[in-house]
Homo-oligomer: A and B are copies of this chain.
Amino acid sequence: MQPENPHQAKLLASLRLHGPQSAAEMAAQVGLSRSKIGQELQRLEDLGFVERAGKAESRGGRRSGLVQLSGDLRFVGVDIGATSLDVGVTNGRLDLVAHVAEDIDIRSGPDVVLRRAVELIGKLRAEGHLPRIDGVGVGVPGPVSFRDGYTVSPPIMPGWDRYPVREFFLKQLDCPVLVDNDVNLMAVGEMYCGLARSVGDFLFVKIGTGIGCGIITGHRVLRGSNGSAGDIGHIAVNDGGPVCSCGRTGCLEAWFSGAALSRDVNALARGGESGVLESMLADGPLTAADVGTAMRQGDPHALGLVRDGGRRLGRVLAGLVNFFNPAMIVVGGGVATGLGHTLLAEVRSELYRRSTPLATSNLPVVLSELGENAGVVGAAALAGDHALGVDQT
């Protein structure tokens, strides 16, 4: 299933970015005549890409029908994290119609993890959520060769290097399959369904166990010359500092990430200076989420960790803002959600202090609106882009 000509692809891309529209609005958007638009839209309706929706606001005359992407299309998003596996189903408009999630360990290897992903897709199908599958998008937590559909030297994924992820799904499912880095997909999700909706150039910063960045320019993912663009976790904040998993010192994610917060908060709790943290330790080792909990209980040590971390993240982002001049920064991932606006305030402060005024004159820094759904929605969106002929190569 693919659009038949460039006009159809243009119309679908416009519906994708701007939502339901009247034929008149689309004519203005894509620069085609009304009669040509009508003809191509009818064809797209016959092919099952689009459907008629409600009525547009009248502009003082006849009311014209809105066109939207079809609610019958079904795209599957598979979001593979270091410790979690999410499978979601969307329609053509990227409404999430079903979602299952469970804990996994990425280190159990691709055979185990991917087989489980296919089982979950089968489960969703058995429950009636997948009368059809128009495409599958898969996100993995490491660098990906997008063209080849496999991971390349992923640091936290033993056994996954050059494993043919796309082939695995293709053998099990009769539909197009696309594989990308998880953070790139979260960025795509935000571009279509989050606060960055229809923003052409922005950064999506994911703070989870590590730190990564999805880069969108001209409404497309920037993947770099070998798929590792956005790997900001190992940018040096300064000389010295904690030893990173990569063997160097001073990397951003050695200073600030889920793993770093967990290391630091346990050290603080064991040090005994904070009564709040010490008492939390009674239930076992603390996690990055506990830092947020303690901070909200007013613990200054936990607050200090968040402020120091936000300042270091802001410092790295300040350089990237000068370089890339984005229109927005969206911060997401499990750890960021738990730390919320305290984290953002510190990031913003450092960003405005260190970036050039022109680059920050109109730069919102916001928390992800999609939250934990960004990955599956983005993965489904990637599959949808392929089906609708929107180029994301």
How big is chain A's contact interface, by range? Answer: 35 or more
Partner among B201, B228, B322, B356 whose Cβ is within 8 Å of the Cβ of A356: B228
Q: Which residues of B contact A322 (CB under 8 A)?
A: 228, 231-232, 234-235
Could you tell me if A235 and B319 are in contact, using CB atoms closer than 8 angstroms? yes
Could you tell me if A236 and B318 are in contact, using CB atoms closer than 8 angstroms? yes
Q: A319-B236, A320-B323, A323-B320 known; A356 and B231 CB under 8 Å?
A: yes
Question: Is A58 engaged at the interface, CB distance under 8 Å to the other chain?
Answer: no
Question: Chain A at the B interface: mostly helix, strand, loop or mixed?
Answer: loop
Could you tell me if A234 and B323 are in contact, using CB atoms closer than 8 angstroms? no
Question: Is A327 engaged at the interface, CB distance under 8 Å to the other chain?
Answer: yes
Contact residues, A262-319 vs B (CB, 8 A): 315-316, 318-319
Mask of A61-105 contacts with B, CB within 8 angstroms, 1/0: 000000000000000000000000000000000000000000000
Q: Which residues of B contact A392 (CB under 8 A)?
A: none
Question: Is A213 engaged at the interface, CB distance under 8 Å to the other chain?
Answer: yes
Could you tell me if A323 and B325 are in contact, using CB atoms closer than 8 angstroms? no
Most buried by B among A230, A236, A323, A326: A323
Stretch at the interface among A28-36, A109-117, A169-177, A219-227: A219-227
Contact residues, A230-252 vs B (CB, 8 A): 230-232, 234-236, 238-239, 246, 248
Residue of B nearest to A227 (CB): B325
Q: Which residues of B contact A319 (CB under 8 A)?
A: 232, 235-236, 316, 319-320
Q: Which residues of B contact A130 (CB under 8 A)?
A: none
Most buried by B among A319, A322, A359: A322
Q: Which residues of B contact A228 (CB under 8 A)?
A: 322, 325, 356, 358-359
Q: A236-B318, A316-B319, A318-B236 known; A226 and B358 CB under 8 Å?
A: yes
Question: Is A43 engaged at the interface, CB distance under 8 Å to the other chain?
Answer: no
Question: Is A194 engaged at the interface, CB distance under 8 Å to the other chain?
Answer: no
How far, in angstroms, from A226 to B201 measured CA to CA in the complex?
A: 10
Could you tell me if A213 and B325 are in contact, using CB atoms closer than 8 angstroms? no
How far, in angstroms, from A200 to B227 measured CA to CA in the complex?
A: 14
Write the nearest CB–CB distance from A171 to chain B, whole angstroms.
28
How far, in angstroms, from A355 to B354 measured CA to CA in the complex?
A: 22
How far, in angstroms, from A235 to B236 measured CA to CA in the complex?
A: 13
Could you tell me if B226 and A323 are in contact, using CB atoms closer than 8 angstroms? no
Partner among B223, B229, B323 whose Cβ is within 8 Å of the Cβ of A232: B323
Q: Which residues of B contact A201 (CB under 8 A)?
A: 224-225
Q: Which residues of B contact A326 (CB under 8 A)?
A: 224-225
How far, in angstroms, from A133 to B323 measured CA to CA in the complex?
A: 34
Q: Which residues of B contact A357 (CB under 8 A)?
A: 153
Question: Is A163 engaged at the interface, CB distance under 8 Å to the other chain?
Answer: no
Q: Which residues of B contact A39 (CB under 8 A)?
A: none
How far, in angstroms, from A222 to B356 measured CA to CA in the complex?
A: 18
How far, in angstroms, from A69 to B224 measured CA to CA in the complex?
A: 30
Q: Which residues of B contact A239 (CB under 8 A)?
A: 238
How far, in angstroms, from A236 to B235 measured CA to CA in the complex?
A: 13
How far, in angstroms, from A248 to B319 measured CA to CA in the complex?
A: 14
Q: Which residues of B contact A2 (CB under 8 A)?
A: none
Write the nearest CB–CB distance from A10 to chain B, whole angstroms.
12
Could you tell me if B235 and A323 are in contact, using CB atoms closer than 8 angstroms? yes
Write the nearest CB–CB distance from A350 to chain B, whole angstroms.
10
Write the nearest CB–CB distance from A329 to chain B, whole angstroms.
11
How far, in angstroms, from A236 to B230 measured CA to CA in the complex?
A: 19
- Give the interface of A toward B (CB within 8 A): 143, 152-153, 200-201, 213, 215, 217, 222-232, 234-236, 238-239, 246, 248, 315-316, 318-320, 322-327, 354-359, 361-362
